[in-house]
Amino acid sequence: MRELGFGSKNYKNTVRFINKDGSVNVERTGLGLFDNVDIYHWLISASRLHLFLVIFSGYIGVNILFAAIYYLIGAQNFGGVDMSTPYQQFMSLFFFSAQTITTLGYGHIYPVSNAAGVAAAAESLLGLLSFAIATGVLFGRFSRPKADLLYSKNILITPYENAYGLMFRISNKKQYELIESEANITMTMNNPETNKREFYNLNLEISKINYLALSWTIVHPIDENSPLYQLNIKDLEERDVEILILIKAINDTFSQAVYSRYSYKAHDFVKNAKFKALKQEATQKGKLKIAVNDIHHFDVLEEM
């Protein structure tokens, strides 16, 4: 039994310690707003869609803000503005703002007063800083080494060496290579006798492989020394069991250690099932080819 840093409290409600995306499912409160917010970390780890929406909405929002400032200063303080209607004045100032913040400067619209020049200079400085930050965030996202692994949707309890074994599969989704891959599996559950949450390190048939080239079926033998021994699916649900997975490997592109986290809850367990063998083919160029998504497929077996 071990302690992972989650404590031993037995919660009344079902909890999840590791989310499906690998993040730790903990919300920290009690500090100030700025202490709880880490904008850079969020931008680095946010999805591509969220990052695009933040950049796009920020770009539009800043231009609308400065267009409103220019409009309050007065459209007559800018040369080349379409003065036909208030709407056209605002749109001309909006496009002038877009040219200014990107330092593009077509020259069609230009400030002709000190107030307009000061506002345009302030926006130019903001644009330089903003694009420098955006460039740093994008570089950080693309240059950060990671282990982009695909985990089987279910974890199986399957016949294994005259008993049962706990199995799940992983595969590398990207074309870069992961070497010296290690698996560390921990199970947490509520103990109905002590009314505390306990953590157990699960022994693995193979805990380390040199190359994660195809797929890896990770197996925990359920013998008399296993905390899962003689537990059925109902017991796993009642004890709020969660399998916590930590995969460590070396990304050979960056020659750096990378980590991947995942977890399975009781509803992800399937008993008396066996993973289907992955189809491996040799291409005309002599390469091995597999369908990575096939790691999810399994067959249900008859009860032993």
pLDDT, tens digit (0-9, with 9 covering 90-100), for 73-102 = 999 999 999 899 999 999 999 999 999 998
Q: What is the pLDDT of residue 304?
A: 52
Residue 35 confidence (pLDDT) above 70: no
Supply φ then ψ for residue 91, to 5 degrees: -65, -40
Residue 1 is predicted with a pLDDT of: 53
Kindly state the average pLDDT of the residues 287-296. 82
Sequence ranges of the chain with CATH classification 1.10.287.70: 33-143
Average pLDDT over residues 32-47: 74
| 228-240 pLDDT tens trace | 888 888 988 888 9
Q: Is the C-alpha dihedral spanning 192, 2, 246, 185 positive or negative?
A: negative
Q: What mean pLDDT value characterizes the chain?
A: 86
Position 2 scores a pLDDT of 61
* pLDDT for residue 186: 92
Please choose, from the candidates 50, 46, 292, 250, the residue with its C-alpha nearest in 3D space to the C-alpha of residue 145.
250
Beta-bridge mates of residue 273: 300
**Is it the case that residue 70 has pLDDT exceeding 90?**
yes
| Mean pLDDT score, 11-29 | 75
**Residues 137-186: pLDDT tens digits?**
888 888 777 778 899 999 999 988 888 999 999 998 887 788 899 999 99
Of 179, 130, 172, 132, the closest CA to residue 151 belongs to 172
Cα separation of 34 and 212, whole Å?
41
First to last CA, the chain: 30
Q: Model confidence over 44-57: pLDDT tens digits?
A: 878 889 889 999 99
Residue 249 Cα distances to 203, 208, 232, angstroms:
19, 9, 33
Per-residue DSSP letter, 283 = -
Quickly tell me which residue has 């509803």 as its tokens.
267
β-strands 155-160, 269-271 pairing: parallel
Asked whether 122 and 73 are in contact (CB, 8 A), the reply is no
The highest-confidence range among 66-70, 130-134, 211-215, by mean pLDDT, is 66-70
pLDDT more than 70, % of the chain: 93
Higher pLDDT, 48 or 69: 69
Neighbouring residues of 62: CB distance < 8 A, sequence distance ≥ 6: 97, 101, 123, 126, 130
Specify the pTM.
0.74
Question: What is the per-residue pLDDT for 3?
Answer: 63
Q: Which CATH number is correct for 149-300, 3.40.50.10330, 1.10.275.10, 3.40.50.620, 2.60.40.1400?
A: 2.60.40.1400
* Range(s) within the chain of domains with CATH label 2.60.40.1400: 149-300
Fold adopted by 33-143 = Helix Hairpins (1.10.287)
